[in-house]
Amino acid sequence: MTAKTDFETLLNTVLGVLCAYPERTVVEIHTSGQSSFLIGIKVDPSDYGKVIGQGGEIAKALRTIIRAYSGKHRVKFLFEIGSL
């Protein structure tokens, strides 16, 4: 598996636990060069607040996971969250 597919699996697992409608969650990872990726997470509008969290705490935790993963695999990720 590549860093991209490993990370997509990890995000889908985490979001599956957070969201009431995990089947409506979309994780898109686009390659931007050899070692850069753009991560787009789209969730059901009713799950948007759950993914952001109070004061952005869940979003910050997701960014921490992304940073840890990117450091281990020596890749860069840009990250955005939106609703469907």
Residue-wise pLDDT tens digits, 48-60: 999 999 999 999 9
**Looking at residue 15, what is its pLDDT?**
94
Residue-wise pLDDT tens digits, 1-38: 576 788 889 899 999 999 999 999 999 988 887 788 88
**Looking at residue 51, what is its pLDDT?**
94
Rg (CA), the chain: 12
In the chain, the domains with their CATH numbers are 3-83 (3.30.300.20)
Predicted TM-score (pTM) of this structure: 0.81
CB of 81 within 8 A of CB of 51? yes
CA dihedral 40, 44, 48, 49 (to 10 degrees): -160
